Structure 1
Amino acid sequence: SREAKLRNTQYWNALYELMSPLENLDKDVLGNVSISCSKGKKDLPANKRISGNIPYQGANGIVDYIDSYTHEGEYLLIARIGAPSLSPYSIRKYAGRFWATSNVHILKVKETYNLQFLFHYLRSLDFTPYINNPNSRTCLNEGSLLSIPVPKISLEEQKRIAHILDTILELKETVEQEVELRRKQFEYYKYWLLNPEGKLETMP
């Protein structure tokens, strides 16, 4: 919808506006402000998975739901291969239990940094310099990922920036949910108008 697109544009404009002043600050590296938790990652063939409610996390999102997990906690999940875009790159946050495939990097953020801030900051970057073959987007190896510069700012400032961006994202997601709800309502009423004697269970 028009409003959803407006909220999305608002988020990206705010993101770049808030991150731009940080370019000239002293830098640390991602490997010093987070811990790689890639140990335990494992690919599980479809015929070996048992259905459940635990996300089976691939490079760019949830691939399946299974009954066991490799990790538990709050993490940043970053695509190792196959990201659809290098700017913004495929980055998401997740809290809880999940099974991690070999195609995703897993970072636990240290107490000196705010996970929400790092999530937004990394989304503002162009990952082209860190990919071993940008033309095919083949691989972001762990060494390159952990070498990414991160601005040195106070935890309070990180939280302030994250709060602003989180608020805009929440508004965007609320609008998207409302649009989807209206779409489903429209489909429901259209179905009953065209099929006045139909049954609910026969709806496509």
Structure 2
Amino acid sequence: SREAKLLNSLYWHTLDKFMLPLANLPKQKLESVCEIHSRYRKAVPALSRIKGETPYQGANGIIDYVDGYTHDGKFLLIAQDGSTSLYPYSLRRFSGRFWANDHVHIVKPIEDVLDYNFAYHYLRSLNFTPFVNNPTRSKLTLPLLKNIPFPVISLDEQKRIAHLLDTMLELKEVVEKEAELRRQQLEYYKYWLLNPDGKLETM
């Protein structure tokens, strides 16, 4: 909807407003503020997967549902290769059990150093071109992942920024759901108002 598009534009404008000034702050490497759980990934060919209810995660999202899991917790999932773009790069938040294939990195911010939600928004603000070893293939190797710089700011400030940005995204989701509900209601009324010949019923 028009409202959702406006909110999305506002989110990206606000994201830039918060993140651009952080470029001048001292930096620390991702490996010093996050645990990297990529070693537990396991790719399974489609024909060998046992069907289940666990999301099977790839570079750009869930691609299947399987039995078993490789990870259980609150993580950031960052494409290793195959990202649909370099800005914004393919990454997402996920909580719970999932199975990760070998096309996605699994990262967990260290709670007393880096806020989970701030890390998500900060990574979304980055152009990943400097971090991939071949822009045409967009592969983010483990050494390059470890060296992604994070600004040194207080945990309270991280949480404040993340809260404001999350509020915008939540409002956008509400607007999108309301627009979809209105669309469904319109389809419902059209169905009951039109007879099989496509003409309006008369009283």
Match of 2:55 in 1: 55
Give me the whole-angstrom Cα distance separating, in 2, the residues matched to 1:18 and 1:174: 23
Over 3 Å counting, the alpha-carbon distance change for 1:49 and 1:193 in structure 2 is: farther
How far 1:54 moved relative to its partner? 1.2
Q: Provide the rounded CA distance (Å) in 2 between the counterparts of 1:190 and 1:51.
A: 39
Which runs of 5 or more residues in structure 2 are unaligned? 198-203
Q: Quote the offset at 1:138 in angstroms.
A: 3.3
State how many pairs are aligned.
196
Is structure 2 residue 67 aligned with structure 1 residue 75? no
1:97 corresponds to which residue?
97
Pairing 1:65-144 to 2, within 5 Å after superposition: 65-111=65-111, 112-134=113-135, 136-144=136-144
Report what 1:6 is aligned to.
6
The C-alpha deviation readout for 1:31-79, integer Å capped at 9, x for no partner, is: 1100110122111222222322211101010111122111000000000
Gaps of 5+ in 1: 198-204
The whole-number CA distance in structure 1 between the counterparts of 2:51 and 2:184 is: 27
CA distance in 1, matches of 2:67, 2:187: 34
- Structure 1 residue 93: Cα displacement: 0.7
- In structure 1, the residue corresponding to 2:85 is in which secondary structure? coil
The structural deviation recorded for 1:124 is 0.3
Paired residue secondary structure (1:39): helix
Assess if the C-alpha contact under 8 Å between 2:86 and 2:138 holds in 1.
no
Deviation by residue 1:149-177 (Cα, 9 ceiling, x = unmatched): 10000100100000000100100111111
Q: Which amino acid aligns with 2:187?
A: E
Counterpart Cα distance in 1 of 2:84 and 2:7: 22
- Report matched runs for 1:20-59 at 5 Å: 20-59=20-59
CA shift for structure 1 position 133: 1.4
1:141-160 equivalences in 2 (<5 Å): 141-160=141-160
Give 1:195 shift.
5.0
Which residue does the alignment assign to 1:200? none
Partner AA of 2:177 in structure 1: Q
CA RMSD of aligned residues (A): 1.5
Taking structure 1 as the reference length, the TM-score comes to: 0.91
Corresponding residue for 1:163?
163
Q: Contact conserved, 2:59 with 2:104, CA < 8 A, in 1?
A: yes
- Scaled by the length of structure 2, the TM-score of the pair is 0.92
Q: Using a 3 Å threshold, how does the CA distance of structure 1 residues 183 and 51 change in structure 2: closer, same or farther?
A: farther
Structure 2 CA distance, aligned partners of 1:102 and 1:190? 47
Query: Percent of counterpart pairs with the same letter?
Result: 59
Partner residue of 2:201? none
Aligned-residue offset at 1:146: 1.2
- The structure-2 alpha-carbon separation of the partners of 1:140 and 1:2, relative to structure 1 and needing over 3 Å to count, comes to same
Q: Deviations over 1:166-190 (max 9, x none)?
A: 1001001111111222222223333
Match of 1:201 in 2: none
